[in-house]
Chains A and B, each alone.
Chain A
Amino acid sequence: MAELETPVVPYLEAPNTDAGSTRTMTLNMGPQHPSTHGVLRILINLDGEIITKAQADIGYLHTGIEKECEVKTWQQVVPLTDRVDYLANLSNNLCYCLAVEKLLGLEVPARAQYMRVMLTEITRINSHLIWLGTSAIDLGAMSVFFYCFREREEILRLFEFFSGQRMMTSYFRIGGLALDAPRGWRQWIKKFLDVMPSRIEMWENLLNENPIFKRRTQGVGFISVADMLDMGVTGPMLRGAGLKVDLRKDKPYSGYDKFDFDVPTQTTNDVYGRYLVRMEELKQSLKIIRQCYEGMPEGAWQADSPKVILPDREKMKTQMEALIYHFKIVTEGFRVPAGEAYAAVESPRGELGYYVVSDGTAKPYRVFMRTPSFANLQSLSTIFAGVPIADSIASLGSMDFVLGDTDR
C-alpha cells in the first residue's frame, strides 16, 4: 500500500499579537453540524466563550410543499403532510384532515376518532423519544440514545403493522382512516402498554438524578414568558415556564374532551424543566392510549359521505351510483365548498395549524402550515444571547425542532 503523504499545514511563525484584545470571533455552526438536528445554520458571534449574538439561517430543507399542495387533489395532499414534520407525521395528517373536514362539514365516526387519538399519542411518544435520545447524546449520555432508538423501532413496527409504512404512514384520510385497524391490533397495543412504563422509568433513572445531566441543564436556556408569547413559542417550552396551555384541553379536537389526562407543567423555565415536562407527557400519552384501548368503539371507521369516501368494493358491483362516485372520486377527486378553515392541533412540538383555502374545485387553492418548529426557532437568538457556547447545545436540544417542519 502506498504510503499516505502527511499534508503540510502552513502555520504562522509570528506570535499572535492581539491576544487579550477585545476582538470577537464569528463562528459558523452548521448546516451540517451534528447537534443542529438537521440542516440548520447558526451564525454565532463569540466574545471568548460567551455568545454575543446568534442568528439562525433556515431554508436548507425548503421543499415547496405548500406550492405542491395546490396541484394535488384534496386527498392527494395527505401524503405530502407526512413529509412536513417527519417525526410527527400522524399529527400533520390529523391536522390537515380536520381542516378539510371542517370545510366539508364531515362528521367522523367515533371509532375513527379514537383510532386517530390513539395513533397520534403514539406519534407523540415516538417524537419525544427522538428528542430524548438526541438531546441526551448532545450532552454526552450515549446509552439513552440507544435505548430510545430501540423503543422507537418497536413503534415504527407498530405503524407498519397498522398502515404498511414505517414512517410516512398517511394513515388518516379525509373522512376517517385509510383502512380499519388490522386484526390483532389489540395484542400489539397491549404489549406496548405493558412494556412502556418500565422503559420510561429506566430513562428517568438514567437521567433524572444524573449529576452531569443536571449540571448541564439546570438553569440553562432561560427565556422570559413574555418573550416566548411575543415570539409565538408554543408547546412544551411554554409549559416548562409554568403556563398550563395545551390545545387538547383548551380547544379539544377529535374527541380529546372524552379522555382524562393532565397537562404537566414546570416553573423552572430551563432545559431541565422542559425535560421533565416531556417525560411527564410520555406518561400522560400512555394514559390516553390505555383509555383508547379499553374504550375503542366498534362500527364504521369512515364517514358516511359517498361523495368523498370511496365506495365499498361489493357495492360497486351491484349499485350504479357507487360506480359513478368511484369513477368521479378517482378521476377528478371530490370538490370542497369554497371557503377557508383553520384547524390547530397540539403536536409534540406545540401548536400545529393548517389554514386551507378552497375556491370550490377539487384542488386546494392554498394550504398554509403554521408549524411549531418555525415559531419556536425564532426564539433562538434570544435564548443564545449572553450564554456560553457549551450551554447553547443544551438549549438547542430542548427546543426540539425539526427542520422539515421549519422549512416546509
Chain B
Amino acid sequence: MLPEALQQDPVAAALAARFGDAITGGNLNLGELTLEIDPARIVEVGRFFKDEQKFEQLSSVTCVDWHPREPRFEVVYHLRSYERKLVIRLKCKVGAAGDVYAIDSLYPVWKSADWYEREVFDLLGVTFHNHPDLRRIMLPDHWKGHPLRKDYPVHGYKYSYADQQ
C-alpha cells in the first residue's frame, strides 16, 4: 500500500492506481522519491514506468547489503525521465531462498540492466533470472566470494593475520 505521505506525488499515485498491491512501502526524503516494490512484480512495474510514465532510462542498478538483517539485500534502481526531468528510485528487498538470493532481471525492459546486473551479481552475489549473459564482469571468473558483501573482509582472504601477535 502507498504510504499517506506519498498520496500527493503524481508518479507514486499513478503507480498505486495500477499496481497498488505491488507497492510495499516508500518515502519522499530529501526530495527524492523512493518506492519499495514487491520483487516478484518488478518487471511489470518497470515496463509500466518505461512505456506509460516516460522513464526512458534505467540510470543504474545497484544493491545494498544489510547483513545480518533479513531480508538481506536491497536492490536499488534509479530511473530517469528526460522528458519529465525526474529521477526516482525503486527498491526491492531480496531475501534468501535456500542459500540463493535472486530477483527477476530488468534486461527485457531496459538493455542497460545488462552490465549493471552483472556487476551486482559479481560483487554482491544476487542472481538475476532471465538475464541473457549472467557472469562476472569486474573480477576474474575463478574468484571466490562477493567482495561488496558486508561479511567479506576489506583486505580479502589473501593475507591472514591470525598467526601474528
Residues in B whose Cβ lies below 8 Å from that of A374: 115
Interface of chain A, helix or strand or loop or mixed?
A: mixed
B101 at the A interface (CB under 8 A): no
Q: A59-B139, A353-B78, A407-B138 are in contact. Are A342 and B111 (CB under 8 A)?
A: no
Bound Cα distance A339, B29 (Å): 8
Bound Cα distance A288, B107 (Å): 39
Residues in A whose Cβ lies below 8 Å from that of B158: none
A62 at the B interface (CB under 8 A): yes
Residues in B whose Cβ lies below 8 Å from that of A229: 56-57, 82
Which B residue sits closest to A339, measured CB to CB? B29
Bound Cα distance A102, B30 (Å): 7
B48 at the A interface (CB under 8 A): no
Bound Cα distance A368, B58 (Å): 15
Residues in B whose Cβ lies below 8 Å from that of A70: 154
Q: A342-B87, A357-B64 are in contact. Are A378 and B112 (CB under 8 A)?
A: yes
Q: Among residues 323 to 367 in chain A, which have CB atoms less than 8 Å away from a CB atom of chain B?
A: 339-342, 344, 351, 353, 355, 357, 365-366
Which A residue sits closest to B112, measured CB to CB? A232
CB contact between B64 and one of A339, A365, A375 (< 8 Å): that residue: A365
B62 at the A interface (CB under 8 A): yes
Total inter-chain residue pairs, C-beta < 8 Å: 90
Bound Cα distance A231, B112 (Å): 4
Residues in A whose Cβ lies below 8 Å from that of B115: 374-375, 377-378
B30 touching A67 by the CB < 8 A rule?
Answer: no
A230 at the B interface (CB under 8 A): yes
Residues in B whose Cβ lies below 8 Å from that of A18: none
A68 at the B interface (CB under 8 A): yes
CB contact between A59 and one of B32, B89, B137 (< 8 Å): that residue: B137
> What is the CB-to-nearest-CB distance from B129 to chain A, in angstroms, rounded to a whole number?
20
A243 touching B82 by the CB < 8 A rule?
Answer: yes
Q: Among residues 97 to 125 in chain B, which have CB atoms less than 8 Å away from a CB atom of chain A?
A: 110-112, 114-116, 123
B111 touching A231 by the CB < 8 A rule?
Answer: yes
B76 touching A355 by the CB < 8 A rule?
Answer: yes
Residues in A whose Cβ lies below 8 Å from that of B148: 66-67
Which A residue sits closest to B154, measured CB to CB? A71
Bound Cα distance A249, B77 (Å): 23
Residues in A whose Cβ lies below 8 Å from that of B57: 229-230, 232, 234
Q: Among residues 35 to 90 in chain B, which have CB atoms less than 8 Å away from a CB atom of chain A?
A: 56-60, 62, 64-65, 76, 78, 80, 82, 85, 87, 89
CB contact between A366 and one of B64, B85, B110, B154 (< 8 Å): that residue: B64
> What is the CB-to-nearest-CB distance from A344 to chain B, in angstroms, rounded to a whole number?
7
Bound Cα distance A366, B64 (Å): 7
Which B residue sits closest to A251, measured CB to CB? B85
Residues in B whose Cβ lies below 8 Å from that of A351: 59, 80
B62 touching A355 by the CB < 8 A rule?
Answer: yes
B138 touching A62 by the CB < 8 A rule?
Answer: yes
Q: A103-B30, A342-B87, A353-B78 are in contact. Are A67 and B112 (CB under 8 A)?
A: no
Range, interface on chain A: 35 or more
Residues 144-162 of chain B: 1 if any A CB is under 8 Å from the residue's CB, otherwise 0?
Answer: 0001100010100000000
Bound Cα distance A321, B163 (Å): 44
Which A residue sits closest to B34, measured CB to CB? A340
A62 touching B112 by the CB < 8 A rule?
Answer: no
Q: A67-B147, A342-B89, A355-B78 are in contact. Are A59 and B112 (CB under 8 A)?
A: no
A342 touching B112 by the CB < 8 A rule?
Answer: no
Bound Cα distance A283, B152 (Å): 47
Which B residue sits closest to A58, measured CB to CB? B137
Q: A250-B85, A341-B32 are in contact. Are A62 and B139 (CB under 8 A)?
A: yes
A7 at the B interface (CB under 8 A): no
Bound Cα distance A358, B123 (Å): 20
Residues in A whose Cβ lies below 8 Å from that of B154: 67-68, 70-71
B60 touching A355 by the CB < 8 A rule?
Answer: yes
Residues in B whose Cβ lies below 8 Å from that of A408: 138
Bound Cα distance A357, B148 (Å): 14
A64 at the B interface (CB under 8 A): yes
Residues in A whose Cβ lies below 8 Å from that of B116: 232
Bound Cα distance A353, B64 (Å): 16
B87 touching A344 by the CB < 8 A rule?
Answer: yes
Residues in A whose Cβ lies below 8 Å from that of B123: 66
Q: Which residues of B contact A (CB under 8 A)?
A: 29-30, 32, 34, 56-60, 62, 64-65, 76, 78, 80, 82, 85, 87, 89, 110-112, 114-116, 123, 136-140, 147-148, 152, 154
Q: Can you name 7 A-B pairs with beta carbons within 8 Å?
A: A70-B154, A71-B154, A229-B57, A232-B58, A351-B59, A357-B64, A375-B60
Lowest 7 A-B CB distances belong to which pairs?
A232-B112, A370-B60, A62-B138, A59-B138, A368-B62, A229-B56, A230-B111
**8 additional contacts (CB under 8 A) given A67-B152, A370-B62:** A71-B154, A245-B82, A251-B87, A342-B78, A351-B59, A353-B59, A355-B76, A368-B60
